[in-house]
Amino acid sequence: MADKQAELTVGGENYSFPTLEGSCGPDVIDIRKLYGNTGKFTFDPGYKSTASCESALTFIDGQEGVLLHRGYPIGQLAEHSSFMEVSHLMLTGELPTKDELDEFTHTITYHTMLHDQMRQFYQGFRRDAHPMAIMCGVVGALSAFYHDSTDISDPEHRKISSHRLIAKMPTIAAWAYKYSVGQPFMQPLNSLSYTGNFLRMTFGVPAEEYEVIPEVERAMDRIFILHADHEQNASTSTVRLAGSSGANPFACISAGIACLWGPAHGGANEAALNMLREIGTPDRIPHYIERAKDKNDPFRLMGFGHRVYKNYDPRAVVMQKTVREVFDALKVKDPVFETALRLEEIALSDPYFQEKKLFPNVDFYSGIILSAIGFPTTMFTALFALARTVGWVAQWNEMISDPGQVIGRPRQLYTGPTQRDYVPVSER
Ligand code: SDX
């Protein structure tokens, strides 16, 4: 809904562009006609001032530290909901009734198995391959197995592909872990919850029954909720851009996994725990804080800072609380938690971090919990990808079902050589 015009003067000419108003958050200036009217592009590397799309899925207020999924605050969802319920919410727009939740959970449960030939993809990797390398490869390979649902213009095809992706990610991730430790793959067990099934496929062995610890199952499920979706972050934007060309959803999610792997994005949970372990004891924190502030030192506090949050990441608040719950349930005492708490305290009282509004983000505490549960650091980003798949497919569906959807194709500011003629090598 346009409520006022934005005026722009270019080369002495005045131009007017409509502004569009969302249900909450900043208005946008609709510049779709800018190039046609002015012959000029906007310039916004990193898209710090650019809204790439319209979406009704997730809202973030970075100044206030607010995160809503279809209007529901992340703190309430983490406290009262489940990952299956949040997945239904992200895909359909509404929290399910009991019957709807049972039906959705049944559908997901009955798609958790992988085609038996998919085992062979794992055999092609070195045992020490990073799980994210395996996830990229195996998820992309899913597109070779589902020729019955590749018409993305068909809502039913989109629905079954979305369910397959959400359902199979736990199996794919668990098998990546099993492959790395040389244990046999565990098949899904339909009598378990989505998250309990994942824990059993990861830590269970054929030689004995595996008992899901309720507190761990609850903590893991909550971690999945906290990672489900996050507006137009780098990996979601990657999925949207890949999907805008009409690529199949499995290939798009594989592209999202590749992007998430970076240490500036989803790879930060692995990097944050490695950093905390390198710091070791609280007395070494000041040295690392100084390094993080030193412009000539590439070191950054991993798990700190965020492009959007200039306040505490609401997910980190829940994550910190969950550390204590898991430690109590597993009777774990890892000094790295004390180091993390102390590091946060020192950083947040330092003018550098205060002026730049750098706070702990979702990745700062998650690794401590995952490590206490038994995951190696190399699995942390794979777990992030597992959970974020529901957000990726929801965003992909929202884009593909938009009748006005077009292929994404940004332009550039060209600063290379102007036209010149070829010179034969004998004359160079
Ligand atoms: C995720 O987008 C999302 O929503 C992502 C995510 C999701 O759910 O999808 O929330 C998940 O990716 C969380 C972020 C995980 N990454 C990290 O924890 C890595 C460490 N953080 C930084 O690399 C950084 O804060 C980013 C990448 C997260 C954000 O970078 P920006 O927005 O591009 O900000 P910037 O790099 O321009 O930093 C602004 C200033 C700079 O100093 P100046 O050049 O102004 O002097 O703050 C400094 C930076 O040097 N800075 C840090 C810092 N983060 C930023 N200094 C020290 N330690 C840090 N962690």
The band of 149, judged by pLDDT with boundaries at 50, 70 and 90, is confident
Atom of ligand 1 nearest to the CA of 60: 4
Give the tens place of pLDDT for each residue, 65-94. Answer: 999 999 999 999 999 999 999 999 999 999
CATH class of this structure's domain 83-402: mainly alpha
CATH of domain 5-51: 2.20.28.60
Distance 56 CA to ligand 1 centre (A): 25
How far apart CA 419 and CA 123 sit, in angstroms, is: 50
> 236-287: per-residue pLDDT in tens?
999 999 999 999 999 999 999 999 999 999 999 999 999 999 999 999 999 9
DSSP 3-state assignment of 158? helix
Q: The tokens of 259 are what? A: 């992007």
Which tens digits make up the pLDDT trace of 157-180? 999 999 999 999 999 999 999 999
- For residue 257 and ligand 1, the question of a CB distance below 6 A is answered with no
Q: What pLDDT score was predicted for residue 150?
A: 83
Every domain of the chain with CATH number 1.10.580.10 lies at 83-402
Q: Return all residues near 205 (Cβ < 8 A) that are at least 6 apart.
A: 183, 184, 186
The helix/strand/coil state of 293 is helix
Q: What share of the chain has pLDDT > 70, as a percent?
A: 99
Q: pLDDT of 217-248, one tens digit each?
A: 999 999 999 999 999 999 999 999 999 999 99
Å from CA of 151 to ligand 1 middle = 38
Q: Which of 221, 229, 313, 363 is catalytic?
A: 363
Please answer whether residues 57 and 394 qualify as being in contact, where contact means their C-beta atoms are separated by less than 8 angstroms.
Answer: yes
Question: Is 385 near ligand 1, meaning CB less than 6 Å away?
Answer: no
Amino acid at 234: A
Annotated catalytic residue within 294, 306, 313, 402: 306
- CB of 357 within 8 A of CB of 350? no
Q: Whose CA is nearest to atom 22 of ligand 1?
A: 305
pLDDT tens digits, 389-424: 999 999 999 999 999 999 999 999 999 999 999 999
Q: Is the CB of 229 under 6 A from ligand 1?
A: no
Token look-up 């102007």 returns 418
Asked if 294 is an active-site residue, the reply is no
Ligand 1 atom closest to the Cα of residue 233 is: 2
Cα of 312 to ligand 1 centre, how many Å?
13
Looking at ligand 1, which residue's alpha carbon is closest to its atom 51? 305
Residue 379 CA to residue 261 CA, distance in Å, equals 11
Q: Whose CA is nearest to atom 32 of ligand 1?
A: 307
Ligand 1 nearest-atom number relative to CA 266: 12
The protein residue whose alpha carbon is closest to atom 30 in ligand 1 is 307
d(CA 46, ligand 1 centre) in Å: 12
pLDDT band at 4 (very low <50, low <70, confident <90, very high): confident
Residues of the chain with CATH 2.20.28.60: 5-51
Asked whether the predicted pLDDT for residue 113 surpasses 80, the reply is: yes
Candidate from 223, 288, 356, 386 with most ligand 1 atoms within 8 A of CB, to mutate: 356
pTM of the model: 0.95
225 touches 86 (CB < 8 A): yes
Residue 238 in contact with ligand 1 by CB distance below 6 A: no
Are 353 and 300 contacting, i.e. CB atoms less than 8 angstroms apart? no
| Whole-number average pLDDT of the chain | 96
Catalytic, 88? Answer no
User: 251 in ligand 1 pocket by Cβ < 6 Å?
Assistant: no
CA 354 to chain CA centroid, Å, is 26
Report pLDDT for 1.
47
